[in-house]
Amino acid sequence: MTEVAGVILAGGRATRMGGGDKGLRMLGGQSLMDRVIARLAPQCGAMALNANGDPARFGDLGLPVLSDSLPDHPGPLAGVLAGLDWAAQMGVPAIVTAAADTPFFPNDLVARLQAAAGPSGLALAASPDDTGRMQRQPTFGLWPVDLRDELRAALLGGLRKIVLWTDQHHAGTAEFSAQSYDPFFNINRPEDIAAAEALLAGQA
């Protein structure tokens, strides 16, 4: 498999958590960000963090901090674009993205995204919802650097919904089963921290 770079998406404004950086919230004695880094690092090469504002608040993580290159917080795709531009500078052919608020994502995420890549090299992860229907996880994807200019043009044209763009480029889907929990369970609200603590205790 071709080596990819990893980009953690933390550019959101966390309004349902009352603002601030969700990735710096603590879970089981570690920040969410530390947990995401620990899961993603063995699966990829270089890593970076997409976040806006003062990068110094992430100084302890030891990762480059990539801010959106487009104004007004246009959403996760802007973070993907920042990651693609960064990877292009290093000559890396693709990135894999992971959300900073999703601490239990699969340890084989990258390999399975690469295996599921569509003809353009794109792939998104998917997992079952409460009804068993597969739902795509658009912040967990494999993104080829070759598509960065097309993504930039789409964002400048007003596109915001990830799956609209990935569908246009025939992205593949890597389906992950849920056992006792959804591996893409993410922390949006304060009560989700308690749910995550319970999941963590169950894994011990």
User: Residues with Cβ < 8 Å from 110, sequence gap 6 or more?
Assistant: 1, 4, 6, 40, 43, 44, 96, 142
Q: Residue 1 carries which side chain, given as an amino acid letter? A: M
Q: What CATH number does the domain containing 161 carry?
A: 3.90.550.10
DSSP designation for 72 = S
From the number of C-beta atoms within 10 Å of its C-beta (0-12, 13-18, 19+), residue 84 rates as buried
Residue 15 binned pLDDT confidence (cut-offs 50, 70, 90): very low
Contact 197, 27 (CB under 8 A): yes
pLDDT for the residue numbered 194 = 86
Q: Which of 107, 125, 121 is nearest to 41 (CA)?
A: 107
Domain that holds residue 119: 5-203
Q: Residue 34 carries which side chain, given as an amino acid letter? A: D
pLDDT for the residue numbered 18 = 43
What is the rounded (10 degree) CA torsion for 175, 32, 100, 61?
Answer: -130
**Residues 127-135: what's their mean pLDDT?**
90
The per-residue pLDDT for range 32-66, each reduced to its tens digit, is 999 999 999 999 999 999 999 899 999 999 999 99
Residue by residue, DSSP assigns 82-146 as HHHHHHHHHT--EEEEEETT-TT--TTHHHHHHHH--TTS-EEEEEE-TTS-EEEEEEEEEEEGG
pLDDT for the residue numbered 11 = 72
Greater model confidence, 197 or 73: 197
Distance CA(37)–CA(55), nearest Å, equals 17
Number of domain units in the chain: 1
Could you tell me what percentage of the chain is helix, strand and coil, using 3-state DSSP and rounding each to the nearest 5?
40, 20, 40
* Pairing, β 5-9 against β 47-50: parallel
What average pLDDT does the chain have? 90
